[in-house]
Structure 1
Amino acid sequence: MEEKHIQGKKVIQFNGVVREFKPEDRVHVQRIFSEGMMEMIYDTSIRGFRYHPESLLLYSAMTIAGFVLTKCWWMIVLLPVLVLCGRYLCSRWVILAYLTEAMRTDMSHMEEVYINSPNSCLWVAVLKDQVVGVVAAVHEGKNSARLKRMSVDRRFRRCGVGKALGWKVLEYAVAQGFSTVVLGTTAYSAAAHKLYQGLGFQCVAVENGHMAPSEPTFPLIGIFYRVYLNHYILEVQNIPVDLCKRQE
């Protein structure tokens, strides 16, 4: 990493390389992706709690009802604790199901899905011979690319790795003649949204209560697991390829 000061602000610039995935990167990519997904358990269950007032109202009503029915003051303490445990366990179950499916499909067949397929690619960020991040792009729709599988080793975050990976996807989209790049994220971390917005993406829709196709279903999922799916889009027709290269 390299620190620069631009207009009085400290900017950390990634001075590694972003290159196409190689078979020997497989273990490192799977580790970074898995660790990133596991962090989503806390993100969706605890950090995301305050973004869902409908859930807060429901849990408050459950607590009040429990107190009215039992006349026990300890219910006021016990139910919120049980609610938080329920949210964490449901998030863990959902995230693990999603991770298992991803590892069974594309993350175990990266060459077939991303490298050997037309209009798709997978890149890794490498710093001092160490893989520190991953991102993929796939053709979607008539003339659009989807940015997916973005994950950065937590030890190397806030070092410009994510931005370098993002610009690689934009460079690829421009070179392939795509008109837009889209992505979806359920992250509540402000850093994730700041990264995408810094690359030029705009949030065009927010879906509340999103459920991925691979997520397990049971009666309490709707109560203890609710997330926002943020849809981002970036028009890339007017981005010169050399501009993307200069941003790496």
Structure 2
Amino acid sequence: MIHVFTLVTYVHIFSLAVLCSVMTMCWWVIGLLPVFFLCGRYFYSLRVIHGFLEHAMSRDMGDIEGFYMNTSDSCLWVAVLEGKVVGLVAAVSPTKSNGAVELQRMSIDRRFRRCGVGVVLGRKVLEFAVSQGNSTVVLGTTAYKQTVHRLYQRLGFRCVGVTNGFVTPGSRQSLLERIFYRVRYNHYSFDVQNSRTALNGQH
């Protein structure tokens, strides 16, 4: 995924360079294009991320108890090490989910990654799905680090699709955001029925 992300960046820079060379014939302007593009990517990436955080706080993360703990078809777990919260994950059964539960909000403190926290949290969601009688666990991620994808694959998830140019919740969907901030959304699925025996053996 990271290679596609980089390729898109180079295509945009090359296109702008060609356009500027035709319009201005000024080489120093062309030389500044990579700096301009990287600054634009940084600015609009921050804006999209802040928009996503505001969107999350206006929904479930602003009322965790009300959203996750007051119904039997959703739950949220927090991982604690040495008295510190180091990770969290949530499980939600969306309306009209056809027996699926969605793994959401997987987040691990970077200081405690590669310590097995993600595996423990992920298994909590899978065990929850078994206890609720769900047939499938689904999730989506825009992470570009392969360690994230290996975590889900280790848990037994398989990638079932990719959405290019995914619109991040909370973004303004402006033209400049679409130019400077492009991500892939990877769809993963876990078949609870076929993995029930393995999950029971992990207790």
Question: Residue 189 of structure 2: which of 233, 240, 243 is its match?
Answer: 233
Deviates more, 1:187-196 or 1:72-81: 72-81
SS of structure 2 residue aligned to 1:56: helix
Q: Are 2:126 and 2:192, in contact at CA under 8 Å, matched by a contact in 1?
A: yes
The structural deviation recorded for 1:64 is: 1.9
Listed as ranges, the matches of 1:34-113 within 5 Å are: 48=2, 50-51=4-5, 53-113=7-67
- 2:153 is aligned with what amino acid? Q
Listed as ranges, the matches of 1:1-248 within 5 Å are: 48=2, 50-51=4-5, 53-140=7-94, 141-238=97-194, 239-240=196-197, 241-245=199-203
Q: Give me the whole-angstrom Cα distance separating, in 2, the residues matched to 1:166 and 1:191.
A: 14
SS of structure 2 residue aligned to 1:168: helix
- The ranges of structure 1 where at least 4 consecutive aligned residues each deviate by more than 4 angstroms after the TM superposition are 47-50
Q: Give me the whole-angstrom Cα distance separating, in 2, the residues matched to 1:126 and 1:206.
A: 33
- Runs (5+) with no aligned partner, structure 1: 1-46
- 1:189 is aligned with what amino acid? K
Q: Give me the whole-angstrom Cα distance separating, in 2, the residues matched to 1:81 and 1:175.
A: 53
- 1:66 is aligned with what amino acid? C
Q: Give me the whole-angstrom Cα distance separating, in 2, the residues matched to 1:78 and 1:113.
A: 48
- 1:93 is aligned with what amino acid? R
Q: Give me the whole-angstrom Cα distance separating, in 2, the residues matched to 1:145 and 1:244.
A: 20
Q: Give me the whole-angstrom Cα distance separating, in 2, the residues matched to 1:214 and 1:82.
A: 25
Which string of whole-angstrom CA distances, capped at 9 and with x for unpartnered residues, describes residues 196-247 of structure 1?
A: 01111111100000003421122212211111000000101132343242xx
Which string of whole-angstrom CA distances, capped at 9 and with x for unpartnered residues, describes residues 147-192 of structure 1?
A: 0000011111110000110011111111111100000000101111
Distance change (3 Å), C-alpha of 1:128 and 1:54: closer
Which string of whole-angstrom CA distances, capped at 9 and with x for unpartnered residues, describes residues 7-49 of structure 1?
A: xxxxxxxxxxxxxxxxxxxxxxxxxxxxxxxxxxxxxxxx957
Q: Are 1:106 and 1:113, in contact at CA under 8 Å, matched by a contact in 2?
A: yes
Q: Are 2:54 and 2:170, in contact at CA under 8 Å, matched by a contact in 1?
A: no
Matched residues, number: 199
CA RMSD between the two structures: 1.7
Q: Are 2:135 and 2:192, in contact at CA under 8 Å, matched by a contact in 1?
A: yes
